[in-house]
Amino acid sequence: MWFRTIFRRRDDGSTANGGRGRSGLRAPLRAASGAARAEAPLFDEAFLRRMERMSLQAQRTLRGNPSSGEHPSRHQLPATIFSDHRPYSSGDDLRYVDWNAYARQDHVLVRLGEAEQDVNVHLLLDASRSMTIGRPPRLRLAQQIVGALGYLALAHSDRLHIVPFGPAALRPFGPAQGKGRLIEMLRFVERLAPQGDTRLAPVLQQHARRHPQGGLLVLCSDLLAPDSLEEGLRALPPPRWQTLVLHLLDQRDLQPEIRGPVELEDSETGQRLALTLDDATLQSYRRSVAAWREALGRICARRGATYAPLMSHWPLEQQVVPYLRARRLLG
Amino acid sequence: MTLLAPLGLLALLTLPVILILHMLRERRRRVVVPSLLLWQLMPRRQEAQRRRRLPLTLLLFLHLLAAALLALALARPQWSFGFFGGERHLAIIIDTSTSMAAPAGGFAGSRLDAARARARELIAGVGPRGSATVISASSSAHVLDAAGTDGADRLIAALDGLVAAGTGTDLRGALTLAEAALQGRPSARILVLTDGALPTAEDLVGRPAPVAVEWLPVGGPADNRAIVALAARPRPGNAPVQVYARAVNYGAAPLRTVLRLYGDDELLDTRPVDLQPNGEAELTWAVPRGISMLRAELDGADGLPADDSAAVSLAQTRPIRALLVSAQPAALERALRAVPGLELRIEDPVAYAGAAADLTIFDGYLPDRWPAGAVLVVRPPAGAGLLTVSPQAREPTPEAAALRPGPSPAAELFEGVSLSSVQFGPVRDVTPPDGFVIALSRGEQPLVLRGRAGASEIAIWTFDLGQGNLTTRLAFPLLVARTVRDLTPPPLPAAALVGETVSLEPDSRATEVELAAPDGRVEVVALTPGQPLSLAFDRPGVYTLAERAGNQTLYTGQFAVNAGAPVESNLAPRDLPAPPPRTPDAQGAGDEQRALWPWLAAFALAVMLLEWLYVHGRRRALAEG
C-alpha cells in the first residue's frame, strides 16, 4: 500500500524515503500529547485498512457539492441508472431521454437518478489542559478519533475541517480533500499542544458563522466548560448541521479514587477547593455527575445533536468504532 | 525509672500545640482534577463541621510520637534494670535516737517499730542476687549486719534488737558506712528510715553521695513535754547546793503541770509549772548538802515518757586516801591538805611498810617496789632499785635556760602555772624508766617525769624541795593539786545523755568494773591497764559503778543518764533534707542505671525519618496522580 512507508516502525531498516522520509512520515503515528508522545502510535496499518471500508454517515439534508463525493444528496439528477422520470425540458442532455417511454407513452421523458455529493466534515477537537488528565489522557483518544474520522473524510473525498480549540479556536486544518492531504492531516493532529481553559460556546458560534453552509460536525470534548453547551449548539441548527457530540469521560471522573481531606486543583484555572471526601460526599458527587450527563444528553436532544459519551480507556477499534457505528456515525 | 532533668518534661506542652495546629490547619492532599465544575456542586455544610474535628491521621500520630519521645529524652530518664530481678543492693539506715521511741502516727507502735516493719519489707524485697546492710544511727552509727537473701533472718533478728536510745543522729557517719558497704555494687541505694530529728542535717547539704539516697520518713506529730536540763552547782563551805532545771512544752496547747524534785528518793519540793505552747519554764532550788542524787519529774502521759524525768549526781568527787612518806613533810603536807577530798596520813620512811593508799607520796625515799595506785616521788634517792639516780646532784642550770614542757598530755600539768622564777636547786639526774616521759625539763635537765608501771600511776619530781624556792611560790600548791588530780582517777560525770559515749578512767588498781543499770541489769567489764573505759548507756536512769581489784571494792559511785534533749524531745514533724547530690562519676558506674535518652532520641529521629518518607511519598503520588 502507498502508506506502508508511513507506518514503518523505528527499527525498520527500509530507506525508501531516505532520512527525511523516516522522520517526516513516522512522526504522525506518535501520540500528540506530551505524556503520550513516547507511547505507541495512534494507529497501526491494519486498522486504517479496516477503517477504509467504512464511511461517514452524513444525512441527506446536508448541503454538499455533487461534483464529487459519495454521500447521497436530496437532489435528483439525470442519470443512466434511473429511479424516476420527468418531462423533458429544453436544454436537457438527450442522452438521458428515455426513448422507450417516449415510444409507449408518446411523451418525451428524461431518466432521473440518485445524486451523490461530498459534505463538509468539521472535526472540532478540544485541546484544553483538562483533556490531558486521565489514564490514558482523553486527548489521546480524541486525537485517535479525529485522525480516524479525518482519514475517512479524506478517503471519501469529503471536505475536511479540523479545528482544535481551547479558550478560542486555534489555527485550523483544511479545508482539505483527498488522500493527498492525509500526511499533513495526521501531522497536524499529532502536533496539537494542550491549551488553557475551555470556551465552548464562543468557539462553536464563531465556527458556525465562518461556515454558513453547515456540514457534519463532530465535537470531541470533555465538555468541562463553564459556559453552556446549549448556547453553542444553538448556532448549529439542523438540518444544515449534523452535529455529533463525543463526550470523552475518564473513569475517575465517574468513580474518584480519592478519599479523606483533599485540596482539589483545577487543571485549567489552578483554582483550589478544600474538601473532605467520605462515602456520603462521593455518593453525592456521583449523583451530581450522573445528573450532569443527563442534562447534557437532554441539551443535545433538544438541539438536534447526537450525544455519545465515550470512556477514555476504551480501545479505539474494539469499542469506540463499534460504538460510533451503533450511533450511526459510521457506516 | 528516674528522671535526671524532670524540667525536660515541660516539652510535653508541645503535644497540645501540635493538636491545635492540626485542628486549625488540616494538611490536605492536593489532587489535580480536570475541572472543579462538578466538585463545586458538592454540599459544603458538612465540610464546615468536619473542620472542627481532630483529624486522626498518620501524620498527626507521628508528630505526637516524635514530640513525646523528644520530651522524654530531654528529661534524661534512667532505667534501673534491677527491677527485673537483677542485683539490688540496699543499705538501710535506721534512726535509733530517743525520739524514735515516740508513737508513730498511723501505726500501732513506736516510730522505731514502724521503721523496723518497713525495713523488714525492704529486706524481703531484695532480689536473689542482692544484699542488704542494716545500719543503726543514733549518737554514733554502727553496722548491725549485712547479708543477702539467705541471711534475711539474721538481719531481721538484728532489727529486733534495736532500741530507741540516743541523743542525736550521726547520719553523716551512717551514710559513710553505707557508702563503704555499697561501694562497687550495682543498683545500690541507701534508704534512711528516720523521723527527721536530724541535728546534722545541715552537714549533709552539698555533700556529694556516690550512691542514691532516699529518705523514708516515719512517725507523725505528737505533743511532748520534757526536762531538757537539770544541773547542780555545789558551793564552798556548807552553803546549800544550787539546782537548776528547764522544762519545755513541745505541744501546740498550753499546759499546766507539776514538777517534783527528789533528793536521794525523798521528795524535796513540788512546783506547779505553766508551759505555753512551745514555751519553757526555768526553775531553781537551793538544796542542802549531803544529798548524793537529785531527780526531777514532770507528770507523764505524753508522747515520750522517758524525757519526763532527769537526774543529776552530787557525789562526784572521789575520796582520796593519801600517804605521805617523808622525813620532812611540812611543805608537802601543807600543799596536800589544801587538796579537796584528800585524806592525808604521814609516815616516816623508816616506818613505811607498804601500807595501801590511793595516793602515796615518797619524799627522798623509794621502796623496793612501786605500791599500787598513784605514786608521787620527790627527790628520789640514789641507789634505789626502782630508779637509776646519779649519786651527785648537778650544779644548778643557769636560769637563762628556759623551761621546756614535754609532750602532751603530760605538759598540761603546767599550763597556766608560772614557773619561770622558780629555782629548783641542785638536781640529780634520773634516767627515765621505760614508758616514762619527761614532762618538764630545764635545758637538758629533767625536772618532772610521768609514767606508769604495772598498776601504779607515777610522777617523779627530780628536784629537792628544800634546795630551791618552789615551796615559797604560789605555783607550788597549784602544782601539787594538779599532780594529785593527774595521778588519781577523775570523778564520775554528774549526768550524761542517753546514747552519749562516756569515757571513764577507773582507778589504776582496778581490774574490772561492775555497772548496774537502772533496770537491774549488771554488767561486768574487764579493764585493760592504762586504758580508759568508754561506755554508752541506752536507758535513762541512775547507774551504779563499782571498781574492783580482785575481791576488793576500790570505789562505788553513781551517775545519771537522762533522755531529755531539745533535738529528741521535740516530736513535731520536720522537713527532711534534700537527698545529697550524686557525684557525676557515680551516675553510671556505681549501679545499673542506664540512660534512656540516647535511645529515645534515636527513636524520635527514626519517627521523623518515617514522617519524611511518608510526606515525600505522598507528594510523589500526588504529583504522579
CATH number reported for the structural domain that contains residue A288 in this entry = 3.40.50.410
Does residue B253 lie in a domain region? no
According to the model, what pLDDT value does residue B323 have?
A: 92
Does residue B41 lie in a domain region? yes
Amino acid at B531: Q
Q: How many CB atoms lie within 10 A of CB A317?
A: 16
- Contact check, Cβ <8 Å, B42/A288: yes
- Contact check, Cβ <8 Å, A263/B28: yes
For residue B603, give how far its alpha carbon lies from the nearest alpha carbon of chain A (Å).
Answer: 29
- Residue of A131, A262, A280 lying closest to B31 (CB–CB): A262
Is there a single domain that holds both residue B216 and residue B330? no
Assess B43–A contact: CB distance below 8 Å, yes or no.
Answer: yes
Is there a single domain that holds both residue A137 and residue A260? yes
Chain B residues touching A264 at Cβ < 8 A: 30-33, 36, 39
CATH of the domain at B473: 3.40.50.880
Is there a single domain that holds both residue B483 and residue B339? yes
- Contact check, Cβ <8 Å, A224/B35: yes
According to the model, what pLDDT value does residue A304 have?
A: 84
CATH of the domain at B206: 3.40.50.410
Is there a single domain that holds both residue A204 and residue A268? yes
Provide the CA A326 distance to its chain's centre, in angstroms: 15
Does residue A65 lie in a domain region? no
According to the model, what pLDDT value does residue A180 have?
A: 82
Domain total in chain A:
3
Does residue A303 lie in a domain region? yes
Q: What is the mean pLDDT of residues B101-123?
A: 83
In terms of CA atoms, which chain B residue is nearest residue A129?
Answer: B34
In terms of CA atoms, which chain A residue is nearest residue B31?
Answer: A264
In terms of CA atoms, which chain A residue is nearest residue B27?
Answer: A261
Cell of B411: 605538759
Does residue B307 lie in a domain region? no
Chain A residues touching B57 at Cβ < 8 A: 260
Is there a single domain that holds both residue A128 and residue A213? yes
Angular region, B74: left φ>0, alpha ψ -120 to 50, beta rest? alpha
Q: What is the mean pLDDT of residues B393-412?
A: 72
Of A196-210, A290-304, B161-175, the least confident = B161-175
Assess A139–B contact: CB distance below 8 Å, yes or no.
Answer: no
Return the closest-CA partner of residue B325 out of B363, B375, B382: B363
ipTM, two decimals: 0.71
According to the model, what pLDDT value does residue A5 have?
A: 42
Is there a single domain that holds both residue B35 and residue B92? no
According to the model, what pLDDT value does residue B168 have?
A: 77
Give percent of chain A above pLDDT 70.
77
- Contact check, Cβ <8 Å, A224/B37: yes
According to the model, what pLDDT value does residue B424 have?
A: 82
Place of cell 524485697: B125
Chain B residues touching A280 at Cβ < 8 A: 46
Assess A288–B contact: CB distance below 8 Å, yes or no.
Answer: yes
CA atoms within 13 A on the CB side of B199: 19
Q: How many CB atoms lie within 10 A of CB A248?
A: 27
- Contact check, Cβ <8 Å, A264/B31: yes
Tell me the sheet residues that pair with A86: A110
Does residue A64 lie in a domain region? no
pLDDT(B516) > 80: yes
- Contact check, Cβ <8 Å, B50/A276: yes
According to the model, what pLDDT value does residue A75 have?
A: 62
3-state SS class at A99: helix
Q: How does DSSP classify residue B441?
A: E
Q: What is the mean pLDDT of chain B?
A: 82
Selected for mutation to probe chain B from A288, A293, A294, A296 (highest B CB count within 10 Å) is A288
What is the rounded end-to-end Cα distance, in angstroms, of chain B?
Answer: 49
According to the model, what pLDDT value does residue A108 have?
A: 85
pTM over 0.90: no
Chain B residues touching A288 at Cβ < 8 A: 38, 41-42
Return the closest-CA partner of residue A243 out of A270, A261, A260, A218: A218
Assess B108–A contact: CB distance below 8 Å, yes or no.
Answer: no
**Structural domain for B534, as ranges:** 495-562
Q: What is the mean pLDDT of residues A12-31?
A: 36
Does residue A109 lie in a domain region? yes
Does residue A90 lie in a domain region? yes
- Contact check, Cβ <8 Å, A264/B34: no
Contact B449, B429 (CB under 8 A): no
Is there a single domain that holds both residue B468 and residue B541? no
Chain B residues touching A195 at Cβ < 8 A: none
According to the model, what pLDDT value does residue A265 have?
A: 84
| Alpha carbon distance B200, B5 (integer Å) | 28
Is there a single domain that holds both residue B23 and residue B135? no
Does residue B391 lie in a domain region? yes
| Alpha carbon distance B302, A236 (integer Å) | 116
3-state SS class at A7: coil
Is there a single domain that holds both residue A290 and residue A148? yes
Is there a single domain that holds both residue A123 and residue A196? yes
Does residue A8 lie in a domain region? yes
Does residue A67 lie in a domain region? no
Could you read off the pLDDT of A231-280 as tens digits, one per residue?
888 888 888 888 889 898 888 888 888 877 788 888 888 888 877 788 88
Of B41-55, B260-274, B321-335, B442-456, the least confident = B41-55
Is there a single domain that holds both residue A51 and residue A92? no
Q: Which residues contact B341 (CB under 8 A, 6 or more apart)?
A: B317, B318, B319, B320
According to the model, what pLDDT value does residue A36 have?
A: 41
Is there a single domain that holds both residue A136 and residue A109? no
According to the model, what pLDDT value does residue A2 have?
A: 41
Selected for mutation to probe chain A from B26, B35, B52 (highest A CB count within 10 Å) is B35
Assess A269–B contact: CB distance below 8 Å, yes or no.
Answer: yes
pLDDT(B399) > 60: no
Amino acid at B308: D
Say which residue, B594 or B470, is predicted with more confidence.
Answer: B470
Counted across chains A and B, CB pairs separated by less than 8 A come out at 81
Could you read off the pLDDT of B574-591 as tens digits, one per residue?
777 666 565 554 444 444
Query: Distance of CA B409 to CAs A219, B405, B451, B478, Å?
Result: 128, 10, 11, 17
According to the model, what pLDDT value does residue A4 have?
A: 43
Is there a single domain that holds both residue B402 and residue B537? no
Is there a single domain that holds both residue B554 and residue B519? yes
- Single out the residue in A97, A117, A137 at which a domain terminates: A117
Is there a single domain that holds both residue A239 and residue A96? no
Assess B41–A contact: CB distance below 8 Å, yes or no.
Answer: yes
pLDDT(B238) > 80: no
pLDDT(A194) > 70: yes
Say which residue, B556 or B405, is predicted with more confidence.
Answer: B556
Provide the CA B222 distance to its chain's centre, in angstroms: 24
| Alpha carbon distance B571, B164 (integer Å) | 14
Question: Which spans in A106-237 are helix H?
Answer: 138-155, 182-190, 200-210, 229-234
- Residue of A253, A266, A276 lying closest to B36 (CB–CB): A266
Selected for mutation to probe chain B from A126, A221, A263 (highest B CB count within 10 Å) is A263
What is the rounded end-to-end Cα distance, in angstroms, of chain A?
Answer: 23
For residue A135, give how far its alpha carbon lies from the nearest alpha carbon of chain B (Å).
Answer: 9
- Single out the residue in B436, B456, B487 at which a domain terminates: B487
Is there a single domain that holds both residue B391 and residue B445? yes
- Contact check, Cβ <8 Å, A133/B31: no
Place of cell 476504551: A314
According to the model, what pLDDT value does residue A21 have?
A: 34
For residue A330, give how far its alpha carbon lies from the nearest alpha carbon of chain B (Å).
Answer: 29
For residue B65, give how far its alpha carbon lies from the nearest alpha carbon of chain A (Å).
Answer: 22
CA dihedral B431, B432, B433, B438 (to 10 degrees): 180
- Contact check, Cβ <8 Å, A275/B30: no
Is there a single domain that holds both residue A251 and residue A230? yes
Q: Which residues contact B200 (CB under 8 A, 6 or more apart)?
A: B168, B169, B170, B171, B172
Place of cell 517526516: A24
Could you read off the pLDDT of A88-116 as tens digits, one per residue?
888 888 888 888 888 888 788 887 776 66
Is there a single domain that holds both residue B540 and residue B450? no
3-state SS class at B46: helix
pLDDT(A117) > 70: no
According to the model, what pLDDT value does residue B125 have?
A: 78
pLDDT(B618) > 80: no
Does residue B158 lie in a domain region? yes
- Contact check, Cβ <8 Å, A280/B39: no
Q: What is the mean pLDDT of residues A197-220?
A: 86
Return the closest-CA partner of residue A204 out of A175, A177, A225: A225
Assess A289–B contact: CB distance below 8 Å, yes or no.
Answer: yes
Contact A131, A142 (CB under 8 A): yes
Is there a single domain that holds both residue B350 and residue B425? yes
Is there a single domain that holds both residue B586 and residue B549? no
- Contact check, Cβ <8 Å, A133/B38: no
Which band of pLDDT confidence, cut at 50, 70 and 90, is reported for residue A61?
A: low
According to the model, what pLDDT value does residue B325 have?
A: 92
According to the model, what pLDDT value does residue A116 have?
A: 66
Domain total in chain B:
4
Assess A3–B contact: CB distance below 8 Å, yes or no.
Answer: no
Does residue A35 lie in a domain region? no
Assign 3-state DSSP to chain A and report helix, strand, coil percentages, each to 5: 35, 25, 40
Chain B residues touching A137 at Cβ < 8 A: none
Does residue B294 lie in a domain region? no
In terms of CA atoms, which chain A residue is nearest residue B49?
Answer: A276
Chain A residues touching B38 at Cβ < 8 A: 224, 253, 285, 288-289, 292
Could you read off the pLDDT of B371-388 as tens digits, one per residue?
888 999 998 988 878 888
Cell of A12: 525498520
Is there a single domain that holds both residue A234 and residue A304? yes
Return the closest-CA partner of residue B562 out of B258, B294, B372, B268: B294
| Alpha carbon distance B487, A162 (integer Å) | 140
- Contact check, Cβ <8 Å, A253/B38: yes
Does residue B292 lie in a domain region? no
Contact A141, A248 (CB under 8 A): yes
- Contact check, Cβ <8 Å, B33/A264: yes
- Contact check, Cβ <8 Å, B26/A130: no
Amino acid at B319: P
Is there a single domain that holds both residue B136 and residue B182? yes
**Structural domain for A85, as ranges:** 72-117
| Alpha carbon distance B250, B282 (integer Å) | 15
In terms of CA atoms, which chain A residue is nearest residue B44?
Answer: A275
Cα angle A173, A175, A178 (rounded to 5 degrees) comes to 105
Q: How many CB atoms lie within 10 A of CB A287?
A: 11
Does residue B304 lie in a domain region? no
- Residue of A265, A268, A292 lying closest to B38 (CB–CB): A292
- Contact check, Cβ <8 Å, A288/B32: no
Tell me the residues of chain A between 210 and 229 that have a Cβ less than 8 Å away from chain B. 222, 224, 226
Is there a single domain that holds both residue A175 and residue A209? yes
Chain A residues touching B28 at Cβ < 8 A: 261-263, 274
Angular region, B167: left φ>0, alpha ψ -120 to 50, beta rest? beta
Could you read off the pLDDT of B33-85 as tens digits, one per residue?
888 887 876 666 555 455 556 667 788 888 899 999 998 888 888 776 544 55
Is there a single domain that holds both residue A183 and residue A321? yes
